[in-house]
Amino acid sequence: MKEKVQAVLNEIRPSLQADGGDVVLVDVKDGIVSVRLTGHCAGCPMSTMTLKNGIERILKSQIPSVKEVVSV
């Protein structure tokens, strides 16, 4: 499943990079995807919305076994 998650993150990445940020996959365990937001995304007050309404929503829609995305 980690490979599938990485593939989806690679599709999302250009949008984040356009705003000066990025996302790094840390781990996938029991449907919980751990990521690290970097660059401008790391300190952005909107990072929670990016994580939940963006990254998590897209991952769940493309990989039904994803339960949650958390930032580490």
- Type of residue found at 71: S
**Residue carrying structure tokens 């990445």:** 13
pLDDT at position 44 is: 84
d(CA 8, CA 44): 22
The pLDDT of residue 19: 87
At residue 42, the pLDDT reads 85
Using DSSP bridges, classify how beta strands 32-39 and 21-29 pair: parallel, antiparallel or unpaired.
antiparallel
Going residue by residue through the chain (72 aa), what tens digit of pLDDT does each one get? 999 999 999 999 999 999 899 999 999 999 999 999 999 888 888 888 889 999 999 999 999 999 999 999
Sheet with 21-29: strands ordered across: 21-29, 32-39, 68-71
Token pair for 58: 């897209």
Domain locations in the chain as residue ranges: 2-71
Q: Which fold has domain 2-71?
A: GMP Synthetase; Chain A, domain 3 (3.30.300)
